[in-house]
Structure 1
Amino acid sequence: MNRPIFNVEEVNKVIRNRRSMFVTQFKQNDPVDDSLIEEILENANWAPTHKLTEPWRFVVFSGEGLRKFADFQADLYMQRSEKNGNFIEATYQKLKENPLKASHIIAIIMKRDLKANLPEMEEVAAVAMAVQNMYLTAAAHGLAAYWGTGGPTFWPEAKEHFGLGEEDKLMGFFYVAKPATDRWPQGKRNPIADKVSWVK
């Protein structure tokens, strides 16, 4: 295979203009085509991975699946908070309603391959790079998307619900929708020179 020729300006453009866009910025009741979600996931599958463990796994919720996810996380929140005595109605409603405002929600999972004998950090990083590929693909298509680690992400019951082993991790949820407006969020970064030391 010959070395591919990339459009460097376009690569820089999509990287530097990728933005998180949240539920309040979603266009509702206008689903993203499944083929775009499949492209997002295909690009996720090409993230760097030491020893080719490919530790990323995804569960995609769409259509009625969004309601199933919403009911699951809201009901689980209620069960957990009743035990702890810290139930908040607004939190319950948010967990119940926000998933229905998305087109697709993708659960992000890190599946460990213990035989590979890799540090967990490498596998977590590989999944994070897969999510960055998802972000960039969504941005290139002009979609609204964000990676959230709220709700059931760190609840042990959710881990069990997704069939994860002790060494596996639920790493959050990637929300995707069409944006409600053509206005693209402005980004801001401090200068890279403030964060780099050169040794020559």
Structure 2
Amino acid sequence: MNNAEVVNEAIRNRRSIFTGIFSGEKVDNAIIERMLQNANWAPTHKLTEPWRFVVFEGDGLKKLAKFQSELYKTRAESNGNFNEATFDKLAAKPLECSHIIAIGMKRHSVVPEVEEICSTACAVQNMLLTASAYGIGCYWSTGGITFYEEAKPFFGLEEEDKLLGFLFIGTMKSDKWPEGKRKGIEDKVRWVR
């Protein structure tokens, strides 16, 4: 298989694999390191390299679970809309993972913010493709506390930075890789000739 075919297959075989089919077995840190190294090769205007990652594993997952569930509770109780099921989910979901990577975007004023967000998203796509290549379950979530301003310091981010979500990572229970589903490109592309 030539390089173009390898890339085409890697892109078309990437899947979001959710925690419900994680086995609980730990992913080798060497794979996590490779994901992070590949993320570092994303396109970046003016070489700002805006991506920032915090990797949680082992007891770190417990710290993340406690932080996000307590932050949710504090906010929700002050607004009068606390939901016990949401609290429980935020406290439990990280413990289903081998690793969680918090995705941050460090703001640089030399380029428009949208370019920094897009660049960080490209870094995440590199991690998703790497995880798929190793047969590792992985998905990007922007739920929970992602858009809470007061969460930023926990992840080493400043006011002008963005928390863009979390990669949930785990070993799959089965070696059966899910089939992909996409509509054709006909309604999504317009050629101007």
Residue number in structure 2 paired with 1:194: 187
Deviation string for 1:57-105 (max 9, x for gaps)?
0000001000000000011111111111111111111111110010000
Write the distance in 2 (CA, Å) between the matches of 1:54 and 1:179: 31
Whether 1:183 and 2:164 are equivalent positions in the alignment is no
**Does the aligned pair in 1 maintain the 2:65–2:95 contact within 8 Å?**
yes
Secondary structure at 2:102 match in 1: strand
Amino acid across the alignment from 1:9: E
Whether 1:9 and 2:5 are equivalent positions in the alignment is yes
Which region of structure 1 is more displaced relative to structure 2, 64-73 or 174-183?
174-183
Residue number in structure 1 paired with 2:132: 139
Residue number in structure 2 paired with 1:93: 88
TM-score calculated relative to the size of structure 1: 0.93
TM-score calculated relative to the size of structure 2: 0.96
Whether 1:165 and 2:161 are equivalent positions in the alignment is no
Residue number in structure 2 paired with 1:67: 62
Whether 1:105 and 2:103 are equivalent positions in the alignment is no
State the 1:157 CA deviation: 1.2
1:45 corresponds, among 37, 40, 45, to 40
Write the distance in 2 (CA, Å) between the matches of 1:22 and 1:60: 18
State the 1:166 CA deviation: 2.1
State the 1:186 CA deviation: 1.6
Whether 1:78 and 2:78 are equivalent positions in the alignment is no
- RMSD across aligned C-alpha pairs, in angstroms? 1.3
**Does the aligned pair in 1 maintain the 2:22–2:173 contact within 8 Å?**
yes
Which region of structure 1 is more displaced relative to structure 2, 133-142 or 184-193?
184-193
**Does the aligned pair in 1 maintain the 2:102–2:166 contact within 8 Å?**
yes
2:30 corresponds, among 15, 19, 35, to 35
